Chain A
Amino acid sequence: MINYLARRIAISIAILFAVSFAVYLIFAILPFDPAALTCGKSCNDPGIIEANRKRLGYDLPIWTQYLVFLKGLFLGRTFGEGAATIFCPAPSFGYSFQEHACVTNSILEALPVTLSLAIGALVLWLIMGVGLGIVAARYRGRAADTGSTIFVLIGTSLPTFLTGLLLLVFVVVKWRILPYPSGNYTPLFENPLEWLNTMILPWITLAFAYAALYTRFVRNAVIETLSEDFIRTARAKGLSEKVVLRKHTLRAALAPLTTMAGLDFAGLLGGAILTEAVFNLPGLGRLSLGAVVDFDLPIIVATTILAATIVIFMNLLVDVLYAFIDPRVRVAA
């Protein structure tokens, strides 16, 4: 197990270097002058552009730029000289001229928002999806099953921005249950109630779409597992249907859910762009979206590397978790 883990971590790190370099290449490949972009779209003062080019190191060859970038990640990086010096401490992902801030700071501001959104939604959709899926499988072909099928159909066909807008129209505008999203984020530990007010609708919006997928998955997995030979063995022992379902069926049926939930969660941490946009949440999704619109290259590079890191790390975590769940994997590993 230790060997396996060490090997997996080594591979993950290698992949991260490859990803970061590939992403960094956009500075060289895209037909934009990164220095020109630093002073806005309508700016064409060659003096400022050249000064910024030197300040941000865009005058160096791409290889050197990448190495400086890597060095900044570990040691921090200073931009410019004299009075206009800006220091971004490690891990420095660079400096964004659009935001006038170290990229790492922008990300650290957005990350808690996206984390709150993703964790809350994950909990909600797991409860809904697993619960509904089990009920649908247990009462297959009856009213509860039909109800869950309708839920799945609606959940999978409604795009999240529409669900989000509908929630806004009814809950916020018509019924005035919640205030209109302010575009600000209140951390959980600062004001839990305010935090909940901000997050509840985005959670429901995201969870609705995922819960539909999970309901269908869990229903099918439970039905499939119920027809396994080892379930017949469990019944032949004289176990009650409750024990057969809870102990023998669910353990086997829900194991693959670990992989699914882990990867979906990782995907969301990269930024739930639509949901964040609809509810005006200052998370990673909105940050990336803004960066793409404004050609804010340092932020694009940083968010992409962050998303890749999260996906790679979650993959690793899921595989390790799976080894605890399924003894067959444990031995093979």
Chain B
Amino acid sequence: MSFLEVSDLRVEFPTSDGLVKAVDGVTFAVERGETLAIVGESGSGKTVTNLALMGLLSKRGSRISGSAIMKGDAGNLELIDLADVQMRKIRGKNIAMIFQDPMSSLHPYYTIGDQIIEAHQVHNEVDIEVSTARAIELLEMVGIPDAANRLKAFPHQFSGGMRQRVMIAMALVNSPELLIADEPTTALDVTVQAQILKLLRELQSELKMAIILITHDLGVVAGAADRVNVMYAGKIVESAPVGGLYANPLMPYTHGLLASIPRMDRGHGKRLSAIAGQPPSLIALPAGCAFAPRCTFTERVAGGPDRCKSAMPALTEHTPGHFARCHLEGATL
């Protein structure tokens, strides 16, 4: 059994316009020391999936079903219906999270020392000196120079990249088994992105934690992840080891995403390709494949576009470890 096994996770938000199916039957597993990337555009359900794992979705505003079992230091835990009190003990200790925008994710009124020490104090009954030492240790680990003095600095006195390092230090202060990184580099400069991803990689091999990396940037995924889940309209549409996905995408959506990455070697004067159309509304999803209305490959499907629009393809394994949800059934795109 894997370290984290999520099966048939569903998250629905009742709204006045109807039921929004944000996550629609998602199943995946993550091992310790492994990085799983979840890729998809805004509204594909990648962030909601992870907020559900963290128990950070409002119980009043959402309906969550399915299962997510974490086999960790705290024993086997079903994360989906854990009581609030228990979830709080795990959150920040066994599972930690870093967020997209380090500018707004740190409290502007407290020093970074206060904030990191607080994260340590919640889960450890130790003197403040012990937590302070731990905070300094972590800040050094994430590469912040003069850590002992920087504890007294406020978030606005750091650059974006340095703030994200502070966020990472804060997330790792209790040595979590699972780190959920929600678009950790989206708000950063490209050079800083590379530094942060490298840092995460190094820390992972040191601490043997599992990482779920949420991103919409396949460029980030290539160097940082072991496995990739591509999500579309609340469902996983393709799941593969990083190499396999880039070499041979099996789902037209993935193909479209890869084609829309700007490349230096594409040649001068060529237009960047984009996937036509808009993601579907999560309230009234089409009966068949949610991507069918935007798909340019439906003519090649046995049974034609009508089959795509009427029947939802299953997530099937085409080569070992490479799953895709498409009626094309493993044809090269």
Contact = CB atoms under 8 A, between A and B. Distances in A.
A41 interface: no
Contacts of A233: 99, 105-107, 167, 170
Interface in A275-333: 325-328, 331
Interface in A199-252: 228-230, 232-240, 248, 251-252
Nearest to B99: A229
Contacts of B105: 229-230, 232-233
The dominant DSSP class at the A interface is helix
A331 B56 contact: no
A328 to B, nearest CB: 5
B109 A331 contact: no
Given A235-B91, A237-B91, A240-B88, A229 B122 contact: no
A237 B108 CA distance: 16
Interface string B121-142: 0110000000000000000000
Contacts of B91: 235-238
A234 B107 contact: yes
A251 B170 CA distance: 21
A327 B118 contact: no
Given A232-B56, A328-B156, A238 B90 contact: yes
B119 A331 contact: no
A234 B106 CA distance: 9
B162 to A, nearest CB: 16
Contact of B92 (A237, A251, A255, A331): A237
Interface string B84-95: 000011111100
Contact of A248 (B56, B97, B107, B167): B107
Contacts of A229: 99, 101, 104-105
Contact of B107 (A252, A255, A325): A252
A237 B170 contact: yes
B90 A325 contact: no
A328 B119 CA distance: 22
A234 B154 CA distance: 16
B96 interface: yes
A232 B170 CA distance: 14
B54 interface: yes
Most buried by A among B54, B105, B171: B105
Contact of A237 (B109, B118, B154, B156): B118
B156 A325 contact: no
B205 interface: no
A331 B157 contact: yes
Contacts of A232: 56, 99, 105
Interface residues on B, range: 20 to 34
A105 to B, nearest CB: 46
A236 B104 contact: no
Contact of B118 (A235, A239, A251, A325): A239
Nearest to A233: B105
Given A236-B54, A236-B91, A236-B96, A327 B108 contact: yes
Contacts of A239: 88, 92, 118, 122
Given A232-B56, A237-B170, A239-B118, A326 B88 contact: no
Interface in B132-173: 154, 156-157, 167, 170-171
A238 B89 contact: yes
Contacts of A234: 107
Given A252-B109, A331-B156, A331-B157, A238 B104 contact: no
B101 A327 contact: no
A230 B123 contact: no
Contacts of B89: 238
B54 A230 contact: no
B106 A230 contact: yes
Contacts of A235: 56, 91
B118 A236 contact: no
A237 B157 contact: no
A327 B119 contact: no
Nearest to B123: A238
Interface string A50-84: 00000000000000000000000000000000000
Given A232-B56, A236-B56, A331-B157, A325 B109 contact: yes
A234 B54 CA distance: 13
Interface string A110-141: 00000000000000000000000000000000
A251 B157 contact: no
Contacts of B54: 236
Contact of A238 (B92, B108, B109, B167): B92
Nearest to A252: B109
B46 to A, nearest CB: 16
A326 B119 CA distance: 22
Nearest to A326: B109
Contacts of B156: 327-328, 331
Contacts of B111: 327
A72 B275 CA distance: 80
B303 to A, nearest CB: 45
A217 B108 CA distance: 21
A230 B108 contact: yes
A233 B99 CA distance: 8
A237 B174 CA distance: 10
21 contacts: A229-B104, A230-B104, A230-B105, A230-B106, A230-B108, A232-B99, A233-B105, A233-B107, A236-B56, A236-B91, A236-B171, A237-B92, A237-B118, A237-B170, A238-B89, A238-B122, A239-B92, A326-B108, A327-B108, A328-B156, A331-B156
Going nearest first, the 7 A-B pairs with the smallest beta carbon separation are A238-B92, A229-B104, A237-B92, A238-B91, A230-B107, A327-B154, A236-B97
Given A237-B91, A239-B88, 11 more contacts: A230-B106, A233-B170, A235-B91, A236-B54, A238-B92, A239-B118, A239-B122, A248-B107, A326-B109, A327-B111, A331-B157
